[in-house]
Chains A and B, each alone.
Chain A
Amino acid sequence: MKLPFLLPRDLRALGVLGMNRRNAEFILPGNPRHHYPRVDDKLLTKQLCESHGIPVPQTYAILEYHSDLRQFRRLVAAHSEFVIKPCKGAQGRGIVVVASHDETTFTTSGGETWTWPDLHYHLETILAGLYSLGGQPDRALVEQRIVPHPIFLPLTKGGTPDIRVILYRHAPVMAMARLPTRASRGRANLHQGAVGAGIELESGQFFGGVCRDRAVTVHPDTGAPVAGLVVPQWKELLAVAVRLAKVLELNYLGVDFVLDAERGPVVLEANARPGLAIQIANRAGLLPRLRELDRGTGVSPAVST
C-alpha cells in the first residue's frame, strides 16, 4: 500500500532537513543574533557587498524620512526603470518594479499603471514599517532594475527569476533557481507559487522542479521543460556566494542572485533563515551534505575552484 505521505524514517533515509532541526542545530548555533541585521537590512547587506567588491544592483536613492519623498520624482527622472524595496522587507513583500514612467504615471513590470499618489502612498507605508520584520519604521531603497539574462525567458512569466545558493560553513551545499509564475504574480518566491528548479552544484545545470511543494517537470505557465538549462558564469556565481558568506559571518545562509544580461551574477539579498523547499526542487535532502561539512571532510566542488 502506498501512503500519501512519508514516514519519519523515510525522511531520515532521504536526509531531509526539517524545520526544527534547521533552527535548533544550524541556525541558532551557526548564525549569531547580532549578525542578523547584516541580512535583514538590505541596505546594510548592500553596503557590505560594495565594500568587498561584490556586485550588487546600483543604488539610485535611499528614502528615509517623509520629506525625502518630495525628492523622489527628481531622483528617478534619469532612470527609465527602477525597483523600490523596503530595506527590512521579507518574502518579496512591498517590492515594486517600475518598468517605465513619466511625470505622473508609473507602469510596473506586471503592467499595472500607478499614479503618483498611489506610489507616494506605497512609499509612505514602506517608511511606516508595514513590510518590515518587526513593524519598525523602515527605509525605502530605490535601485537599478536588473535585466535578467535572456536564457531564462522560456521559464519566466513576468518578474525576474533568481538563483538561491545555500551555504553552510561558507561552502555551497545546494542551489536552485526560482522562476516567477502567474500565480506568484511575478515574485520569485516559492511560498507564493513560484517554481523552484534544482541546480547541479558541479555544472550549474537545471534539473527537476518544485511548485507549491509538488514536484514538477515543466513551467506551469510557459510549458517549457525545467530541466536542462545551464546557468552561465556558474563557477563565478558560486565564488561570489562564498565570498559573501565569509563577509556576513553567518554559518547557515541563503544568498539570492540575479543573473544580469551584462554584469553577470549580481547579489540581490541574503537570508539567514532560508526555506527548505529547495530540497524538493533538488530531489535530495540537505542533511548528508551538512553533516559532511560538520565532519570537515566535505569539500564542495565549487569551493575547490
Chain B
Amino acid sequence: MNARHIVWTVTAALVLVGLACVGLRLYARQQARLSSGDSLWRITYKVKFYAARTGATLRVSAPRETTHARVFRHDIQYAGLLAQRLRSSRELSRELAFASLGSGPHTMTARFDLHLSPKDRWRPTDPTTPLTPDLQNRYLRNTDDIPTDAPLVLETLARLQAPPPTNIAQRLFDFCVHDLGAGDERAPHDVLTALQQHAASPIGRARVFVALCRAAGLPARLVTGLALEPSAASQPQYWAEAYVDKQWVPFDPSNGLSGDLPERFVPVTRDRLEIVRGTDISELETRVEILRLPPGPGASRFGRSRLGAIFDLTRLPLDMHEPLSLLLLLPLGALVTALFRVVIGLRTYGTFTPTLLALSFVYADWITGLMTFTAVLALGLTSRALLEQLKLLVVPRLSVLLTLVVLGIMFMVSALDYFNLTPSAQAVILPMVILTMTIERFYLTSEEDNPLFALKLLAETLLVGACCYGVLRWRAVGELMFTFPELHLFTIAALVLLGRYPGYRWTELWRFRDLKKP
C-alpha cells in the first residue's frame, strides 16, 4: 500500500468515524428521556433601551444554576451591540456584558433553556461557601437599603432577641412573615418605612429580614430570582439568604418558605435587585417570558454520576461555553490558513499568526483591534530599528522587544479608553509573543530582502487573518462545534487531504506566466 492509498484510507476512516460519532450523539439525544418529574423551561429576556452614547454598557444576569436547575443552552441576539466576555463575579451573578456601537434605541434578546429536576441532580456550585472574612464583611455591611444601625432596626432586633432564641434566623423570619403585613408592589420597599407601617412589599420584606440578620451578626443577602411558571411577563421574585451553620439557607418571607425553596425558584442575581442594568442608558424596559418546553433533544441527559457526560460539553457551566466554543473554532482557523497557503499560495509570517491575531480581535471590534495592532507594530518596528544600533544578541533583543510590545499594548489600551474612542478597549489583548516575532521577522525581511516584500508578506498575513476572523466570529458554527466536537474529525480529514494536495497553487499560475511559449 503506497502513501497515497494510506492517505485516502485514513481520510475515509476519519469521515466514517466522524459520521458515526455524530449519528451516535444524535441518536443519544433523541433517546434522552427526561426522568419522571423533570421538565424543560425557556426563559426569554426581551430588553429595550436607549443608549446615550457609543460604548454605553448593558449588563444582563443569566439564571444561576442550582442543584435542581441547569442551563443547557443559551442564545443571545444583539444587533448593534458588542458582546464582551461572559463574566462571573464570584458570588453575585453571571453577567453578559454588552457595549453599544452607537447611541440610540437598541434591543437585546437572551434565551436560556433550563433543565429542572426535583432531585439533587447536579453538583451545587456556590463559590461563597465557606465564607471568607472579606465576604463575611460584605454580607454584614450597612448600606442605604439595608440600614443595620438604624435605631428602629436595633430596637426591633432587641425585642425579638428577648428571650434569646435558639434559632435567631427562624425567629427573624417568623417576624417578617407574621408581623409585617403583606403588601403589593405599592407597599413600602425600604426597611424603615416597612417597620414603621408594619407592612412591606416583597422587596421590603426581604430587605427587613436581611437588615435584621445583619444587625444580629448573621451574614445575609438579598436574592432576585425567577419562579418557573408559564408567563408572558414574569415578575422577579425576591427572597433572602442567611448564612446559617456554614451554608446559605434561603428564606422567602413573601411566600412563607424557608430552608428548601421549591426547585422552580431559580436565583438570578444576589446582593443586587436588577436582573438587567446598564450605564449611560435610559428607557430600559425588560420583559421576562417563561415557557415550558416539550421534552426534546438537547437537555442535559447526564447527571454527575455518568462517565459518558465527559463527552457532552453542553453540560459544562454556562460561562465556559463561550471560550470553549471559540477554542473549538481554532482548528477551522488553521484549516483556513492551510487552504490559503497550500491552494492559493499566500505566504504568512508564522503558521498560526493569522489565526491567533484573529482570535485576539474576536472580543474587540476589528477597528479597535486594527488600530492597536498598527500602533504596536509601528512602535515595535521603530524600536527594533533603534535596537539594531545597540547590537544586542538575539535572545535579549527579542526580550526587549517583547517588553516594549507589552508596554505598547497596555498604553494603547489605556489611550483608547481615555479618549473613549472605542467601546471595548479593555478587550484588545493581542498575542504578544506572536506580535513580537512578527515584528522581528518583518524587520529582518525588510532589511535582508526589501521593505516592499516585507509589506507584501504582512498584507498576506493580514488577509489570511481577516478570513480566520470571519470564521471565528461565526457563532453558529462555534455552537455547532461545541455540541458536536467530533465534527473536527472532518477538519482533520480535510487537513490530511490538503497535506497531500499536489496541484498548482494559484500564485504559481501567475509566477510561471512567462513560461508560455509565445
Contact = CB atoms under 8 A, between A and B. Distances in A.
Interface of A: 4-8, 10-11, 14, 16, 18-21, 24-25, 29, 93, 121, 124-125, 128-130, 135, 191-192, 210, 213-215, 279-280, 283-285
Nearest to B3: A29
Nearest to B501: A20
> Which of B342, B500, B514 has most chain A Cβ within 10 Å?
B514
Contacts of A124: 393
Nearest to B7: A24
Contacts of A24: 499-502
Contacts of A280: 511-512, 514-515
B509 interface: yes
B394 A14 contact: no
A209 B336 CA distance: 36
21 contacts: A5-B509, A6-B512, A6-B513, A6-B516, A11-B512, A14-B515, A16-B504, A16-B508, A18-B503, A18-B505, A20-B503, A24-B502, A128-B393, A128-B395, A191-B449, A192-B448, A210-B514, A213-B514, A280-B514, A283-B515, A285-B515
A214 B504 CA distance: 18
Interface residues of B, number: 25
A6 B505 contact: no
A93 B448 contact: yes
A191 B449 CA distance: 8
Contact of A8 (B3, B448, B503, B514): B503
Contacts, number: 78
A8 B502 contact: no
Contact of B394 (A125, A192, A279): A125
A46 B462 CA distance: 41
B512 A16 contact: yes
A6 B515 contact: yes
Interface string B479-517: 000000000000000000001111111001111111110
B297 interface: no
B449 A5 contact: no
B504 A20 contact: yes
A57 to B, nearest CB: 23
B345 interface: yes
Contact of B502 (A5, A10, A18, A128): A18
Contact of B514 (A20, A128, A192, A215): A215
Contacts of A5: 509-510, 513
A184 to B, nearest CB: 10
B504 A11 contact: yes
Contacts of A215: 514
Contacts of B501: 20, 24
B394 A129 contact: yes
Given A130-B394, A192-B449, A280-B514, 4 more contacts: A5-B509, A11-B508, A20-B342, A192-B448
B391 interface: yes
Nearest to A93: B448
A4 B394 contact: no
Contacts of B393: 124-125, 128
A63 B161 CA distance: 89
A35 B360 CA distance: 40
Given A16-B515, A121-B391, A21 B502 contact: yes
Nearest to B514: A215
Nearest to A7: B509
Contacts of A192: 448-449
Interface string B393-405: 1110000000000
Contacts of A135: 394
Nearest to A11: B504
A5 to B, nearest CB: 5
A19 B508 contact: yes
Nearest to A216: B514
